[in-house]
Amino acid sequence: MRKIEQQMNDAIREGKDWKSGNTQVITLNNMGEDVSFVYLHGNHIAIVGDNYIRIYDGGWQSNTTKSRLNAILEGNGIPGERIFQEKFEWKLRMSDGTVIPFFSGMRLN
């Protein structure tokens, strides 16, 4: 995991606003729950709540977007969840090994 991705995950875990280079975390407290909104190049790529993650491609299925999302999944999700590309299409490998098509806005519990 890249240093910027570790710092991003630290900000999410600590419930802090953070920005470095092209990546930003804005955390809001909603009825006692910290909810972090993650942006890459100003494009919304994730929402991380206490019991869920919602992931987006931000309109760009780039290697950097995929790397940031995988870092979020690794640091805040269930071990084994990972986005990968196969035949030019993004897919999500679930923790049980099941592979499903990626779609922007999908929610993981």
Beta-sheet pairing, 89-93 with 82-86:
antiparallel
Cβ atoms of 27 and 35 closer than 8 Å = yes
Model-level pTM? Answer: 0.94
Average pLDDT for 12-23: 96
- Cβ atoms of residues 67 and 60 within 8 Å: no
Per-residue pLDDT, averaged over 53-67, amounts to: 96
pLDDT at 45 over 90: yes
Asked if 22 and 62 count as a contact pair (C-beta separation under 8 A), the reply is no
The model's pLDDT over 87-107, given as tens digits with 9 standing for 90+, comes to 999 999 999 999 999 999 999
Report whether pLDDT(78) > 90.
no
Average pLDDT value for the chain: 95
Whether the per-residue pLDDT at 11 is higher than 90: the answer is yes
Whether pLDDT at 31 is above 90: no
Burial of 57 (0-12, 13-18, 19+ CB in 10 A): buried
Separation of alpha carbons 91 and 55, rounded Å: 12
Residue 25's pLDDT is what?
Answer: 98
Distances (CA, A) of 76 to 14, 71, 87, 96: 12, 8, 27, 17
